[in-house]
Structure 1
Amino acid sequence: MHAQSTSRISLPSHSVQPSLPTAFDPTPLQPVSFFPSGSEIYAQGEKAGAFYQVEFGAVRIYRLLADGRRQISAFHLAGETFGFEADTTHHFFAEAINATGVRVFRFATGADISGQLLPLALKGLTRAQEHLLVLGRQNAIERVAAFLVDMAERQGGLRQVEL
């Protein structure tokens, strides 16, 4: 486990704007929580009940295996959401890869958000299906190439990707 250290900062007006539905309680808009490189955002087994949006930086989602290895499930970049769970607990760890700002969106009391959650769930399902195809049908070099192409596309078609 990592010691968690967070602080709140205000971002300039040109930062990534939240794009989550209004059923999440953004008013007043929550400040961005800052997570230094390697710090834990949430742990497997902790209570869930919010979505997280990366404002800047990057987040890795992973699980610790019984033999001590870490299995990475996903990477999330600026503008992307994570923390979507099917029940009330987190099934993975979330950790800042580098200096990262995250905005938390909590569910508004009594709100029916099922319609707003469907697009997020389907996007996550599509990404997981594509990931399984890469893992199941490509050799190691092809998987690395697919990862780099995906990262470049998710960062606006960059010609260079910061790893």
Structure 2
Amino acid sequence: MLATSPQTSARLPVSPALFGQMRAETLPALRPQVAPQNRMNFTDGQEIFAEGDDAAHVYEIVSGAVRTSKLLSDGRRQIDAFHLAGDIFGIELGAEHRFSADALGDVTLIVRRRVSFTARAGEDPAAARDLLTSTMRMLERAQDHLVLLGRKTAMEKVGSFLLSLMERSNGGDHLELPMSRLDIADHLGLTIETVSRTLMELQRKQAIEFAPCSRAIIVKNKGMLRRMAE
């Protein structure tokens, strides 16, 4: 459920799920002026919305990271996406969330009503084009993730994941990972032991190295990492 932030005392109804990553800067026509009361803060592990909650709002990440996931019938967790600063998530076709969303560390979100967000697309041709373009990008990400889950080896999965994070972090070689290795495993359809072994193998081959502290990874050889991900 939504938490109350210092900027607002009203409890907003919980909100919408996601198809992949939609970038806020690709939707200029859909971004009205943000009122201070539309910002909400969440702490590490705090639930933003749960599967089955009403999909009444759309979210933009100002800072931090969010994971969206589904709990399977056998108790396993499948993480479908990680959302970073600048991403928009929570857009649903139906009335309810298909996934739950949780904060990875401290997170600040901009919360907009879904009806207002989609109404602009219906009224403004530029907004409609922005929304269509971003929806197609989300579909591409979903298709890439299906291939990654179904066809790639553990090395290819982990390599592809790190390359994707690099691209979303403007190509920088220093990757601050807000997610744990268990999160990565649940996203890639691997065990945490396999993820750890694969990262150690990438370090042994000098494609990456682990930063002295935190979960940061430094990509030392992007070309090698790309070859190992193919």
> Shorter-chain TM-score category?
0.7 to 0.9
Cα distance per residue 1:30-88 (max 9 Å; x no partner): 44211101111111001113211111110001001112221100000000111111111
Alignment equivalent of 1:117, drawn from 131, 136, 141: 131
Question: Greater CA deviation, 26-35 or 52-61?
Answer: 26-35
Secondary structure of the equivalent of 1:108?
helix
Q: Give the structure 2 partner of residue 58 of structure 1.
A: 65
Q: Give the structure 1 partner of residue 78 of structure 2.
A: 71
The answer as to whether partners of 1:8 and 1:31 remain within 8 angstroms in 2 is: no
In structure 2, the CA distance between the partners of 1:112 and 1:72, relative to structure 1 (3 Å rule), is same
Give the unaligned 5+ runs of structure 1.
Answer: 10-17
Q: Give the structure 1 partner of residue 101 of structure 2.
A: 94
How is 1:11-90 mapped onto 2 (pairs within 5 angstroms)? 19=25, 20=27, 22=29, 26=33, 28=35, 30-90=37-97
- The percent of aligned pairs where both chains have the same amino acid is 41
TM-score normalised by L of structure 2: 0.59
- Aligned letter for 1:75? F
Give the unaligned 5+ runs of structure 2.
Answer: 8-23, 123-127, 178-230
Q: Give the structure 1 partner of residue 192 of structure 2.
A: none
The answer as to whether partners of 2:38 and 2:112 remain within 8 angstroms in 1 is: no
Superposed displacement of residue 108, structure 1:
2.2
Alpha-carbon distance in 1 for matches of 2:86, 2:37: 15
1:157 and 2:175 correspond: no
Alpha-carbon distance in 2 for matches of 1:68, 1:33: 30
- The number of residue pairs the alignment matches comes to 154
Alpha-carbon distance in 2 for matches of 1:88, 1:105: 16
- Aligned letter for 2:6? R
Alpha-carbon distance in 1 for matches of 2:151, 2:106: 34
TM-score normalised by L of structure 1: 0.81
Alpha-carbon distance in 2 for matches of 1:105, 1:136: 35
Q: Considering only CA atoms, is the larger Rg found in Structure 1 or Structure 2?
A: 2
Structure with bigger RCO (C-alpha 8 Å, 6+ apart)? 1
Cα distance per residue 1:104-154 (max 9 Å; x no partner): 121329935252532232121111011112222210111011101111110
Alpha-carbon distance in 2 for matches of 1:52, 1:40: 13
Which structure is higher in helix share?
Answer: 2
The answer as to whether partners of 1:48 and 1:85 remain within 8 angstroms in 2 is: yes
